[in-house]
A and B are shown apart, each in its own frame.
Chain A
Amino acid sequence: MGKLHSHLIAAFVWGFFFTVCNYFLLLMSVFFFRKKMKIFSESHKTVFVVDHCPYMAESCRQHVEFDMLVKNRTQGIIPLAPISKSLWTCSVESSMEYCRIMYDIFPFKKLVNFIVSDSGAHVLNSWTQEDQNLQELMAALAAVGPPNPRADPECCSILHGLVAAVEALCKITEYQHEARTTLMENAERVGNRGRIICITNAKSDSHVRMLEDCVQETIHEHNKLAANSDHLMQIQKCELVLIHTYPVGEDSLVSDRPKKELSPVLTSEVHSVRAGRHLATKLNLLVQQHFDLASTTITNIPMKEEQHANTSANYDVELLHHKEAHVDFLKSGDNHTGGNSREGTFKETVTLKWCTPRTNSVELHYCTGAYRISPVDVNSRPSSCLTNFLLNGRSVLLEQPRKSGSKVISHMLSSHGGEIFLHVLSSSRSILEDPPSISEGCGGRVTDYRITDFGEFMRENRLTPFLEPRYKIDGSLEIPLERAKDQLEKHTRYWPMIISQTTIFNMQAVVPLASVIVKEAMTDEDVLNCQKTIYNLVDMERKNDPLPISTVGTRGKGPKRDEQYRIMWNELETLVRAHINNSDKHQRVLECLMACRSKPPEEEERKKRGRKREDKEDKSEKLGKDYESDKPWQESERLKGLLDREKEELAEAEVIKDSPDSPEPPNKKPLITMDEMPTVEKAKGPMSLLSLWSNRINTANSRKHQEFIGRLNSVNNKAELYQHLKEENGMETTENGKAGRQ
């Protein structure tokens, strides 16, 4: 590699010599102006016009050794004579390299139209996005083949290509079309600018002038045509880049000329470049100028040696990307470019140091920009090692080399779906430092959020791409994101935020119902499961199973068992009612619920408690949605209650955990006070005649005698004996509640 470098140094020195001053000025002027975005700038459309006339078949007179001798096989063999590329080959491969870099960094909205010119113009592709890739262009170029040195030079000209280029610039691209259609009456805002890069072998400065005049005239004519057409657009601005290329060792007949305005529409610049790698270097510089690119050299990349697998040496890899990735260096003037003379040139590159990644830890970095990259030397071993490493899913942090002081990580390389991006990480002081912790703000002192349940909710509401268009029943296009919003709406119709606000979500037994009732449509099986769940709850009630209702905060033992069930049934009803309009099947679940839940005791309860309670119930129904109260005295009373509870809890638990940051405390007893229950008493749904009748009979019978406890608690008329033993052994809490939750 060292040997190669010395070759390259020579090449680069000369290649840069002519252009370096221009390049420097350009870089300086971009230091302080963050360009505002414009989709349809000159770089939206680039037309390549490459000369295919007989003289382009001439050799560039720069030899390539292709028959490199391998050790141990050299005896007696004379290596094959070196070969050289033609002017055509040099032009084509340099322009392909230009396109490669451009497509890597701007896969969309930056388009190339490739035209080859000899006795006529051959347009190799169109502006459509499908035509924008190297494979298409390479195949088209292969079909054209090298120029025929025996063709008649008189009938060949670059002018055909230039005329075709102007024509192409008038053609509308799909992006312009889309923008014009969406803007409607403001369609004139859509710009039509473009750039023509013409690689030819000119005869003299006056020949160059003639080419420029021709382009100008053609633009003038075509703009007239375009003015009367719906499919064509007038060219507002055209940048003509004429590259005169000639064999190494010859004198150039054409002089360089910086960009000059020929007319308000046309600017032109002339570059006189020797063929071979000089031409490639020139186009590499041009692609950087045209697309506002900058270069970053990743240094200190450890790489296994090919020969000695257990040793590794450090390599450098140069990448190109949009210059915004250097915005911090450019603006602060703190760039690390000055001293970099690895290649003995003034090449502007920012050096960043590789930081070997520790683990594959998933972190969310504060990233202010991400820009696609393209390696300068795509096929070199260091480049492909780096890109393969990244494509395999690893990310690499990059550090600013500093002589002293702390380490500053300023960038990160990372691939996303086979594309590598240079991420700009914020390394300056944060304006958000030392913010108040969330636990200090509203809701920060509440300790029993349903963190785990909401985590489960989030996982169920994750997103996935739907690339195929889907249609609603009415034939209109369905927007997946709107479906996602709908689902969130359904899933949150009844969603208590804290454990002490809910009973049913603390019961494993309710899960089968709760998980399907939120669905838009239920299957028959779902309905069956819901019914089973309800029957199961009825069983539990009959058995007098305890419910995970907290007794904390209530004086004495807390609500009686039947009161607990009343609360549970009310809550379940609230949940199911929130969804009855989804479908008939949802309605069926409610019917089942209404039929099964026991009512009579509750009815009596109601009478006993009177009206005041109802007020409170109505209010607590609002809980979770709305804290504003039109009855301030009630509000403050409620808050006082909350505070009291909190105090008691404090006494019990000694410490209040910083709720949002810590997972909810294990085996935490749900907090509940009766009045806080979001019980909802709306009009009851229909009841079957049978259940009405049997309820009546049962009530009537029950008045006549006291029911056996065994029968009351029996399942299928079988009563379990010695239940109290079980309770004493502490089975109580684990039976039906989610005792194992964490």
Chain B
Amino acid sequence: MAQYDFKKITVVPTGNDLIDIVLSRTQRQTPTVIHKGNAISRVRQFYMRKVKFTETNFTDKLSKTIEDFPRVEDIHPFYGDLLHVLYNKDHYKLALGQLNTARNLIKRIREDYVKLLKYGDSLYRCKSLKRAALGRMCTVTKRIGPSLAYLEHVRQHMARLPSINTGAPTILICGCPNVGKSSFLNKITRADVEVQPYAFTTKSLFVGHTDYKYLRYQVIDTPGLLDRPLEDRNIIEMCSVTALVNLHAAILFFLDLSGSCGYSISQQAALFHSIKMMFRNNPVLIVCNKTDLQTLEGLSGEDLKLVMEMKSAALDVLLTMSTITDEGVMAVKNAACQRLLDQRSERKMKSKKMPTVLNRFHVAMPKPRDQKERPVCIPQAVLEARAEEAAHEERKTEKDIENENGGAGVYSASLRKHYILADDDWKLDILPEFLDGHNVYDFIDPDILQRVEELEREESAVEEDGGDFEIEDEDFTAEAEKDLQEIRKRKKLLIQKHRIKKSTAESRPTVPRKFDKDRKFTTERMGRQLSSLGIDPSRAIERARSRSVSRKGRKRERSVGGDGEDEMEIDGGLDNKKKLRLRSRSIEGFKDSAQKMKAVTMARNATKKRNKDARRGEADRVIPTLRPKHLFSGKRSIGKTDRR
């Protein structure tokens, strides 16, 4: 028997909402652009697609709703009756029928208009056809608006119905209003139903669950029943009647002995007898509640007789309890559960399937052959070993040693003790890891010494050879060495001179040799240079002198005569000119170089004193203003001013 879940029904949109949904879907999910210029087949296709799409959506949504809602005939009669009681079966069916009709209508509209669209001859006509089709579908939907609204209502209510498993063992609680049915439910289950002093506090069915002998029982609390004919019952009472009639359950009829519910025992008895026929095969238990107010024994004779009558009708099952004092509550529950269990087992046993199942079971119990005793068998060796172990002394473990020596942080176990070595003395050796920048472990080899010896032999052999070498005589004699040094020195000097010449080239004038003011190019010089090269210069000097200008000048003097005065005159006259010409540029302003030298010395002497006094001279740098304003004040247009 399935458990119905009415919570999973999809929301039923209202008429207008449905129209909006479907049309907006069409708008979004179909292409939207079409032009007059497109081929007519394309135009037709475009509009047909829209019509079909709309129809499909409507149909889908309506079909979904129709299928989601349960068909009253197909479900368990309890739910069928409940639905009828709550929502009026006819109205319900009508609403669903209307939805179905609408669906069919929409389908027909689509077929018609698609046929028409096939022959649409212009964009405008196709468009109008599509508009008409969609419009008609929407009108149909608008007409079923009220049905949709009703179904939505029903859906919301159905979702809140208690989920009653029609196949599970159930206990049904019924009786007059206010007798204590809901309080009993609260006591035995975890349900938290409202309990109030006024009648009809419970307006619908409530379900709780309880356990008994590893089985789960449903306990259903019903609204109170009044003694009325069936036709006059209101919806609330009809709920409980439905439950009574359709559910297979153990029925607990509650009696209020004290009459504080507002109904006397006779009224309650009358009710009982009127609904007796609804019980059918269900096990019935009469439960007398509120014994704290009025016990069974304390009843008046008449009441007692009525109660006894009821008891006899219920197969002699009468229980008393009080929900306030918890007296007998559990007993009632157990009794009810037990009775139900018994009935169900009986039924199962009687069912047609039972023999087939029973045939498959067979529990075999071996018959004892004889009265011999056969105990457990343990081999002797094992027994001995066990005995030995028990007698064996406890040896000292590493942990004990650790604890002796100060515990975990203080003592660390020496793992070297258990090393397996050729000689036990070696256990505590300190092993070096590095030596001279090498890893010792990389060199370990049992025959390392051998190989080292080989190496050493190799080395010595190589040494004896001395190797192949070429002896070259010192090809340089002392003289040659000296010459080489000279050459190198000379080269360096040349380079230096050239460098000076290069660096001063810009400031030095290039003067032809005839204006040689420093008198560099003399024959003495030439003579010296030539002799340093190892050549006799005398001939060269002669030749040079013979061709010089001054020589020629002297010749003229001699031819004139040896007169001293004449000589002097000529000399003087010529000398002056010569002297003018011959005067070097470096002796500018002075008579001769001697005079210049004197002048230079005088200048030097003059400055000596001043320098000794360490006074500022003309050549010394002067800062006229030590703190010029423009450097020491003012803000900068860009940048920081943290340095001045």
Do the two chains bind? no
Chain B residues with CB under 8 Å of chain A are none
Residues on A facing B (Cβ under 8 Å) = none
